[in-house]
Every structure is written in C-alpha cells, then in structure tokens.
Amino acid sequence: MLNDMTKCGVRPDTVTYTGLLDGLFKNGRATKAMELFNLMLLKGEEPNTVTYNVMIDGLCKEGLVDDAFKILEMMKGKGKKPDVITYNTLLMGLSTDGKVDEAMKLYSMMSKDGNFVEPDVITYNMLIFGLCKEGDLDTVMEIYNTMVERGIAGNLFTYNALIGGCLQEGLVGKAIKFWRHALDLGFVPNSITYSLMINGFCKTHMLKFAKGLFSKMRASGVNPTLIDHNVLMLYLCKEGSLGQARMLFEEMRSTNCVPNLVSFNTIIDGTLKAGDIKSAKDLLEDMFKMGLTPDAITFSTIVNRFSKLGLLDEAKIVLEKMIACDLQPDAFVFDSLLKGYSSKGESEKIISLLHQMADKGVILDSEITSTILSCLCQISDDYDVMKILPTFSQETSKGGSISCNELLMKLNKSYPELKL
C-alpha cells in the first residue's frame, strides 16, 4: 500500500503510517513495524502520541518491553507528553512479565514525570494484576485502597484479579468477601470469576462449595469451560466421588464441551483407583475412537494403577507400548512397577527392569533410589536396606540426582555379591 501511494505521488502522512503500524503489529509482524517506523522517521514524518502508543502497545504485546521503553524515551525526547494510555500499556507489559518492581516505579513516575498524569481504573488494574501474580497481597491492598480513596471505581477485571490473588495465596475467606462486594456493587460474575472461585474451592478441599457454584454458574447462563469441568472432575476423583465425576464426564459428552486428553486421563485414573478395570479399558477405547492419542500421563497413570492392582504383566505391556510410542517413562513409572514386583517377590523381573532403566538413562530421585535399594535388599536376605540406603542417599543428595546406570555400578562395586 505504501509503495502504491508513493508511486502515485501521494506522500503518506502520520495517520497513514500509524494505521499501517497498527495493522503490522496486529498481524504479528513486529520486525516489519519497526522497519516502517524507522522509515517514517527517515522520511521526516513526525509521529504523534497515538503513533507512539501504537508502537509501545505492539512491542509490549510481543514481549519486547525493553524496546517499548526505548520508544517512550524517544517520545519524551521529541517533546511528546506520554498520556495515561502510554503508561497503562507499559504497566500491562511489565505486569505480564512479572516485573512488578519496575511497574511500581513507573506508577510513581506518572505523578512526577513533567505534567501530572491521572491514573485511571486500568492503571490500578494492571498494578493489582501484576502484584497478585507475585503474591504481594499487602501491596495489592495498598493500591486497592488508594484507588478507592481517589474515588476510582473498580470494574469486574479488578475484582477478578483480587479474587484470583487471594485464592492463589489460599485466602478463601478474603476471596469470598471480594466476590460478595462485587455482587453488592452490581457486577455480574463472568466465566473468569466463576472459574477462579471453583478452582479455589477445589484446591482448598471445599468441594461442596465448588459443586454448588458450578451449578449456579450453569443456572445463571454462564457456560462452564472445559477447564472448569476438568478441575472439578479431578477433585471429585481425588475425593473418591467417582460416581459424580463420571456423571460430569458424561454430561460433557452430551454437550458442546467435548472431553480432551486431560479429561480422559483424569477419569481413567479415578476409575482405576476405584479398581474398575473394565470401565477404564472402555474409556481408553472411547478415547481412541475420538481420535485422541495417549500421552505420557495416560501411560504413566495406567502403569501406576495396574501395578498397584497387582496387574504387573499388563502394566509391563503398557510400559512397552509407551516406549514404542517414543514416550520416555520417568522414574515415577518405573517406581510403580518396581514396588509391584517387590510385593510379589519377582527378583528376576526387578533386575531386568533395573537394567532397562539403566539402558534408558533414567535419572533417579531419592524416592525411587530408596525403592531400588529396598528391592535389592529384599532379593538378598544378607543385606539390610537401612544399612545400604544411608550411604547412597548421601551420595545422591550431594549430586542432586543419579542415573540408574551409575547406581548399579556403585552397587556392583560395593556389593558384588548382589550379582547385578
């Protein structure tokens, strides 16, 4: 477009450049936008406040906050006064990046930077949002109180941020107070408000309230998201309320909220935990029919639950399928099988699995190291795990981690009688 205008003898003005810059940023072409901005300066076309704000906004949204601040300095150097939009955009960029200290400095600068710039509700929202992310609720309350004292009314974003911040820190009572205050002010909760509260109630084991709010959400015409369904289903399974979790899962399938891999992983785990192997296998078949491919979590879940149920041969088959799918089992998967073999006294299978772990380069944590040593001491009655374990626990703690291969080499060297 710019070339066409030039060919026709029409010189692009500031408004034209600003519109083109905005379009480039919205299409994710930040580099091209910077090139065009530099061309604009080269052609002697003076950017106005809107142009600078477009540049700052685009750069912040691309995560290029440092570059956005360079534009701010250029803006001030050209004698253009930043307005509240300029500051709010930069505050958004800093808060999103977790740079709350810099955000607070910028907020202070608004009242000292030449002519005073009056903060608005967006200013305070960005600060509250950033501080809540960092868990600094004391400063959040100071900012919130300042906003109220200045007669600036919060909006739903404000209260969602406050509710989320409180719940993040486990302050359910405080979150409920903000929820009620928002309702008293006439705000209608949206999907974000409900999601925050449901998630918070679930994490603090207040499942009765989470279920009640979930029902209220639907009754008010706000559709629960896939994440809402998955979170509630997860905690229902954890609580042992598999029947309710299954009902929720079936409701998802009968609505437009189509279950995803997380949904299936959650309900399969809960079903196996309850010992219902047939239903779990049926769910796995349903998952395939929907075109979903099992991931590492799916396989790990099944291996773990099969091992605990004593279905060790089936667990090993699932492990081999996992490896065949180019998914690397972690220590947790092997730990489950080792404990299963140990409970059955399967010495040869323990040794075979350990060598497989060594070949795969599995990194061990303290828990599986303990499991391995316990298994080995069980194999040979001449050894007591409590005598061997401290030695190797100290060695692994020094290095932070140890591979299965390293552990077997050390054991072979120290205890050749084990014949590993």
Element (H, E) at 403: strand 402-403
Give the CA distances from residue 36 to residues 12, 13, 39, 60, in Å, rounded to whole numbers and listed in that order.
12, 13, 5, 17
| Helix ranges, 115-241 (H) | 121-133, 137-149, 156-168, 172-184, 191-203, 207-219, 226-239
pLDDT exceeds cutoff 60 at 8: no
CB of 252 closer than 8 Å to CB of 259: yes
Q: What is the pLDDT of residues 86-129, one digit of tens each?
A: 999 999 999 999 999 999 999 998 877 566 889 999 999 999 99
CB of 314 closer than 8 Å to CB of 306: yes
Query: Strands, DSSP E only, in 95-172?
Result: none
pLDDT value of position 386 = 47
CB of 59 closer than 8 Å to CB of 71: yes
pLDDT value of position 381 = 58
CB of 375 closer than 8 Å to CB of 342: yes
CB of 55 closer than 8 Å to CB of 87: no
Query: How does DSSP classify residue 61?
Result: H
Q: What is the pLDDT of residues 185-199, one digit of tens each?
A: 999 999 999 999 999
Identify the burial level of 139 via C-beta atoms within 10 angstroms of its C-beta, where 0-12 means exposed, 13-18 middle and 19 or more buried: middle
Q: What is the pLDDT of residues 57-85, one digit of tens each?
A: 999 999 999 999 999 999 999 999 999 99
The more confident residue out of 153 and 361 is: 153
Q: What is the pLDDT of residues 275-299, one digit of tens each?
A: 999 999 999 999 999 999 999 999 9
What does the alpha-carbon distance between residue 223 and residue 393 come to, in Å, rounded to a whole number? Answer: 51
45-61 core/surface letters (b: 16 or more CB in 10 A; e: else): bebbebbbbbbbbbbbb
Query: Mean per-residue pLDDT for 386-402?
Result: 49
pLDDT value of position 397 = 46
What's at 175, amino acid-wise? Answer: A
Single pTM value for the model: 0.81
Q: 312 Cβ partners below 8 Å, 6+ apart?
A: 306, 337, 340, 341, 344, 346, 349
